Structure 1
Amino acid sequence: MKRTKTVTIIGMSDDGCLSLTSKAMHAISKGQVLAGGAQHLEFFAEFEGLKIPFQGKLPDVIDRLEELSFENNIVILASGDPMFYGVGGLIVKKFGLDHVDVITHPSSIQIAFSRIGITWHDALIISLQEPSRAGFITKIQASSKVGILTDPEQSPQELAKHMITYNETDWQAWVCENLGGVDERFRCFTIEELSRVDDTAPLNVLILLRKDGDKSLPPTIANLHEDAFAKQIPHKGLITKREIRTLSIVSLGLNRKSVVWDIGTAAGSVAIEAAKIAFDGHVYAVDVASECIKVARENAIRHKVDNIDIVEGLAPVAIMDWPAPDAVFIGGSKGNMREILDVSLEKLTPYGRCVVTAIAVETVQETYQYFKDCGWDTEMIVVNIARSVPLAQYHRYEALSPIHIFTAIKVERN
């Protein structure tokens, strides 16, 4: 059936009809169906058509609106900018752009920044209106200005407590509540103060401003010396050397949304640097040694990454239920290299990468033979590194053990 009627999405603020343009009011007057949140529909008690509140599963509500749209003009009310973390994208995808008109309104983020007199074109915007805040700490590392859409479960107070856990406290925090409403309020706190506040309104935006601006922003690739991970580690040899770590991470081909496996994580150095790059993704790390797990978790907090799961166990059993990875790093196998590679390469996403580092000749031979047998295109390099060390008033070079790095890319073959 050909759709002849239109769908209009109207953004509005908490002051209801007062925030609407004449175009928006005209669209509502011509509509036969009015949909939106209960708080939005309350402003239109005199609407004579069918009202559909957003209750239950949103896709089911949208399906019903689609059925009605063949014979009715549909008007959908939304908060702020419907195309900014709002319902607008779902509606356009469902009905098609030719049948949708969007009448926008300033978003809560825009209003919040304008109220405190801060520009927001260079701000990082994060929506925490979902069950998990995993990755929040990692994301804000590279920013000096952050706007956050909070949630009752991810309230400003809870976020402040989370930041304190990771020693991420050098921020000024603005809590902007009930934007556009009669109870609108703006308050500024330190992170420590915010963690103790218990009277924030459910509808709020949190703005974080780094106290020293851009001065303390970290490098994109940390390239941390192994001493940064060495505290309490049983054997310093368990920490991937900085030069090898950098080459391995580059070989993994990570992007900000990558899902990464780190097998044989030891002190967690590769996992932590990978997590910083894949700040919108997630890293899953495993090691069989309980003392390594303890240190790796401490290092994750010390280096401020929270998009990482570190578990104790023996691969491949411990990795069976992990989400499909875009990249796999294998730094230790405990004699299970072939079995680990079987699982890793089977679950690896198309064009995903597997990087293996090996010192022992036997591990080098086993890894080479595995990739040869399976016919994967594999790059093999051997890395020899020498570092300068003092020698009386002079310096000499001290060689590290040669490391083989294997990089395989999963290419779909017909």
Structure 2
Amino acid sequence: MHKWLSVVGIGEDGLEGISAIARSLIDSAQILVGGSRHLAMLPSSDPREQITWASPLDLTIEKILNLRGKAVCVLASGDPMCHGIGVTLLRHIPIAEITIVPSPSAFSLACARLGWALADIETFSLTHRPVSVLASALYPHARILVLSADKTTPARVAEFLTHAGFGQSQIAVLERMGGAQERWIEGLANEKTAMWRTTEVADLNTIAIACIPDPDTALISKPPAIKTSGLPDAAYHHDGQLTKREVRAITLSSLAPVPGKLLWDVGAGCGSIAIEWMRSHPRCRAIAIERNTTRRQYIADNAAALGISGLKIVAGDAPAALDGLPQPDVIFIGGGATVAGLFETCWDALHVGGRLVVNAVTIESEQKVLQWHHQHGGELIRIGIQRTEAIGSFLGWKPSAPITQWVVVKQKEH
């Protein structure tokens, strides 16, 4: 199939700012697709068919797919592959059929204005994501660039930063970069008179944040940007069903997160394992399976507080609740090892090379783990943690219940 679809990025300077190649793709198209702002850049006398993006977007994508074979050009903002329509289209159409010609992205333009190195910046799009995802990048002196969803985003970001203990952070809202109406609005996140609160902000804006924690911000108790496993237990809301910090760190090491891999967290409790799995890399995916309604809410709240979006939460009892879920690469069983059929269901779900980690606390669950180890091999370790506790006016060591951990990689069946 020849390249029938083109995607052309356009900046605020309009058609005058695009390259000769981009212009030729627009001129040779039979059908043009874009937002009303982009289509308005074309001459009013242009006789060609024009399609404006509908809501939901899938309706227009279906129209584009039905035009396969005709010369179609999609007009986009900036770089279509930077949180743009190009990424969406490539989920439906192979690159062999598409020509993409970008203009500078909002991130590139913002870095050029601010003198920031793009490689050193944390970047986010809040177009379809909650503001809370920024929590994963909050640390002293971090620099963050954000694509806004609309004109209300700067105020919402400022409120979030203030609530998170980063109210002293410096914010710059950059509007219509590259155009005649380009404007900056600057201020502190906690500044009540900041212009983004008191004046009309353009829907098309980018937010630059230089993170500065408030003097009284306890970074130890609010550690959302720490990427290592084993966050403090205080970082989680829970009812006692929490894999403690030291055990969690060891367990994450045993699970061995890899970008793009999918984890099943079976009997997820407050979701700490699934959340820290996803925090290890932006492309790590997880499904938390939990039967208790209150704990499922804890999982959702903890994920939001720690900047995790995309964690799928499944209600129900395992193994029945596992039926129909996407095939996992890794499975963690933190409880319920004695439930009939649970191990067999999980083992069958894994592909060859998949990894299973089971933490056993009770004697009965440990006996099950020993049986499975005898059948399938793997590694057994005993985790014992002791913490100091007052004994009168002295300190003594109080041991926690030991954990037997089994780690096994599924081998090819003989």
Q: Same fold (TM over 0.5)?
A: yes
1:150: which partner in 2?
A: 148
- For 1:240, the aligned partner's letter is T
User: For residues 13 and 258 of structure 1, do their structure 2 counterparts lie closer, same or farther at Cα, with a shift above 3 Å needed?
Assistant: same
User: For residues 281 and 196 of structure 1, do their structure 2 counterparts lie closer, same or farther at Cα, with a shift above 3 Å needed?
Assistant: farther
Give how far 1:210 is off. 1.2
- For 1:408, the aligned partner's letter is V
For residues 388-407 of structure 1, what are the structure 2 equivalents within 5 Å?
399-407=399-407
Per-residue CA deviations over 1:21-48 (Å, capped at 9, x if unaligned) read: 445445544x152523132232222665
Per-residue CA deviations over 1:158-204 (Å, capped at 9, x if unaligned) read: 44455566556553332222333444332124334579568332222
1:382: which partner in 2?
A: 382
* Secondary structure class of the residue paired with 2:252: helix
- For 2:84, the aligned partner's letter is G
**For the residues of structure 2 that align with 1:196 and 1:14, how far apart are their CA atoms?**
24
Give how far 1:250 is off. 1.0
Q: What runs of 5+ residues in structure 2 fail to find an aligned partner?
A: none
* Secondary structure class of the residue paired with 1:106: coil
1:39: which partner in 2?
A: 37
- For 2:228, the aligned partner's letter is I
2:121: which partner in 1?
A: 123
User: For residues 61 and 139 of structure 1, do their structure 2 counterparts lie closer, same or farther at Cα, with a shift above 3 Å needed?
Assistant: farther
Per-residue CA deviations over 1:2-35 (Å, capped at 9, x if unaligned) read: 75x8765432213322323445445544x15252
- For 1:211, the aligned partner's letter is I
- For 1:244, the aligned partner's letter is V
Matched, 1:110 2:113: no
Give how far 1:265 is off. 4.3
Matched, 1:242 2:239: no
Give how far 1:357 is off. 0.9
User: For residues 304 and 17 of structure 1, do their structure 2 counterparts lie closer, same or farther at Cα, with a shift above 3 Å needed?
Assistant: closer
1:328: which partner in 2?
A: 331
For residues 39-188 of structure 1, what are the structure 2 equivalents within 5 Å?
39-45=37-43, 50-56=48-54, 57-69=59-71, 75-88=73-86, 90=89, 94=93, 97=96, 102-130=100-128, 132-133=129-130, 136-141=133-138, 144-152=142-150, 155-161=153-159, 169=167, 171-188=169-186
Per-residue CA deviations over 1:89-108 (Å, capped at 9, x if unaligned) read: 547984755x7654432112
**For the residues of structure 1 that align with 2:165 and 2:287, how far apart are their CA atoms?**
22
* Secondary structure class of the residue paired with 1:14: coil
Kept in 1, the 8 Å contact 2:124–2:134? The answer is no
Give how far 1:347 is off. 4.5
* Secondary structure class of the residue paired with 2:68: helix
**For the residues of structure 1 that align with 2:183 and 2:146, how far apart are their CA atoms?**
16
Q: What runs of 5+ residues in structure 1 fail to find an aligned partner?
A: none
- For 1:353, the aligned partner's letter is R
Kept in 2, the 8 Å contact 1:261–1:283? The answer is yes
Kept in 1, the 8 Å contact 2:12–2:176? The answer is yes
Kept in 2, the 8 Å contact 1:351–1:410? The answer is yes
Deviates more, 1:16-25 or 1:134-143: 134-143
Deviates more, 1:216-225 or 1:287-296: 287-296
**For the residues of structure 1 that align with 2:60 and 2:236, how far apart are their CA atoms?**
49
Kept in 1, the 8 Å contact 2:132–2:305? The answer is no
Matched, 1:355 2:357: yes
1:274: which partner in 2?
A: 277
1:199: which partner in 2?
A: 200
User: For residues 136 and 352 of structure 1, do their structure 2 counterparts lie closer, same or farther at Cα, with a shift above 3 Å needed?
Assistant: farther
* Secondary structure class of the residue paired with 2:174: strand
**For the residues of structure 2 that align with 1:337 and 1:153, how far apart are their CA atoms?**
51
Count of paired positions: 397
**Aligned alpha-carbon RMSD (Å):** 4.5
